[in-house]
Amino acid sequence: MSASPQTLKRELGVFGAVMLGLGSIVGTGVFVSIGIAAGIAGPAVVLAVILGAVVASFNGLSSAQLAANHAVSGGTYEYGCKFLTPTLGFVAGWMFLLAKSASAATAALGFAGYVLSAFGRPDSFWLTPLALASVIVLTVLVLTGIRRSNAVNTIIVSLTFAALAVFIIAGLPSALREAPTNFANFFEMTGEGGTLRTLLHATALMFVAYTGYGRIATLGEEVVRPKETIPRAIITTLLTTMVLYTLVALVGVGAVGAEGLSAPQNAAAPLELAAQTFGLPLVPQIVALGAITAMLGVLLNLILGLSRVLLAMGRRRDMPAALGRLNAEGTTPTYAVLVMGTFVALLTLVGDVKTTWSFSAFTVLIYYAITNLAALFIPAEGRLFPRWISVAGLIACASLAFFVEPAIWALGLGLIIVGLIWHFIAHRLRTRI
């Protein structure tokens, strides 16, 4: 390991980057979080899906131009260090590790939930053990390098899109028939704090469902011709996902109503149980298969992204230096992958998708607030998009972060303080060496 290369190989083109982005996004967001958000916003979850897409667009464009100007592994951790201050860069990296580890745990639990639901045991004792097993298997796969990981991811994304197409087509007749009833009270929301607060709470949760596009930027060191590839891949990924999520939300709520999607017994597998009401053979099984592959795809891509951010933090000594080392072939940061795989496995022990997803929402919004702030400091010659896009993204992220449950954002703020204490200690240790 001591004689390993210092940089990762550039092996991803536009298609590969788009497939990694889609594999990171289309999973927990569409198969699990729509049900969670429907329980908060009711039929207006469709509006939350659209608003979440708008905020994600601002952030996606900021991420694209940052990655094009500074194409290294690490995402906003690196952008914060380069364009802002090392402390803000550290906060971004720390928030990413926390947010995406929680998202990965949600994906693992969602995978287990759909598998068990397919076998008629949605409340089984095996939910957490099966989630743990999925984390272990995919951590081993990520250790083999990005080329093999991306080949598996492409297969997963293809199966997932086919399953969602079946869900939309099969559910459309039911959605058209039941829509007048299920969309009648569009703003009748179940959350606390009034209609606007409830809608923004749901929007914060749905925003997280789009944030896998950041994986493209996080893997910037492995992308060929990054100034061309990264912006194209992020924009293509976002547009595709917006259309898909909106169609799924319209069909899901239209067919079974917001209450049907958000029922407690449906928490880990809402689309499969909705598909059971369509009255068509094999459709629930196809949706379940698509969900299972999607969760695995998200989990795979999250472990990839998490390990690359930890790699960058190890290189800058914000984390132990061993985490900044690559294997002899220069294809994977072995120690970083193992550490993040272990941390995600521990988080699956929470065993509750709503808790892990809500925590992910707060931390990832703070992360993207720093992304937009960093984009404001890109030199004029490197700017690809107008500054107002980054300003809008910054305001939206900073505001939405505090519309999740108070206990969640209080925990998030506490963990930021813990991270800053560690950052101070690490800095003191570096200066003494």
Q: What number is the average pLDDT over the span 353-372?
A: 81
Q: For 14-432, which CATH superfamily applies?
A: Amino acid/polyamine transporter I (1.20.1740.10)
Element (H, E) at 95: helix 86-118
If one compares 271 and 2, the residue with the highest pLDDT of the two is: 271
36: three-class secondary structure by DSSP:
helix
Return the residue matching tokens 């969760």. 295
pTM, entire model: 0.76
Question: Which of 35-39, 82-86, 369-373 shows the lowest mean pLDDT across its residues?
Answer: 35-39
The full 3-state SS of 260-300, as one line of letters, equals: HHHCHHHCCCHHHHHHHHHCCCCHHHHHHHHHHHHHHHHHH
| Range 233-264 burial, b when 16+ CB lie within 10 A, else e | bbbbbbebbbebbebbbbbbbbbbbbebbbbe
The residues facing 197 across adjacent strands are: none
At 165-174, the pLDDT tens digits run 999 999 899 8
Q: Which two tokens stand for residue 97?
A: 């590790």
Nearest to 91 by CA among 429, 408, 427, 422: 422
- pLDDT surpassing 60 at residue 46: yes
Give CA–CA dist 432/131, Å, rounded.
42
Which residues have a Cβ under 8 Å from the Cβ of 72 and sit 6 or more positions away? 78, 220, 221, 312
Give the pLDDT of residue 372.
93
At 9-23, the pLDDT tens digits run 666 677 777 877 787
Q: Enumerate the domain spans of the chain.
A: 14-432
The residues facing 73 across adjacent strands are: 219
Give the pLDDT of residue 147.
65
311: three-class secondary structure by DSSP:
helix
Question: Is the CB of residue 328 less than 8 Å from the CB of residue 4?
Answer: yes
Q: What number is the average pLDDT over the span 103-121?
A: 80
- pLDDT surpassing 60 at residue 290: yes
Q: Which two tokens stand for residue 87?
A: 């402390």
Give the pLDDT of residue 1.
45
Give CA–CA dist 380/66, Å, rounded.
12
| Sign of the dihedral through C-alpha 60, 61, 63, 67 | positive
At 325-353, the pLDDT tens digits run 877 776 678 899 999 999 999 888 876 66
Which residues have a Cβ under 8 Å from the Cβ of 215 and sit 6 or more positions away? 20, 21, 24, 301, 302, 304, 305
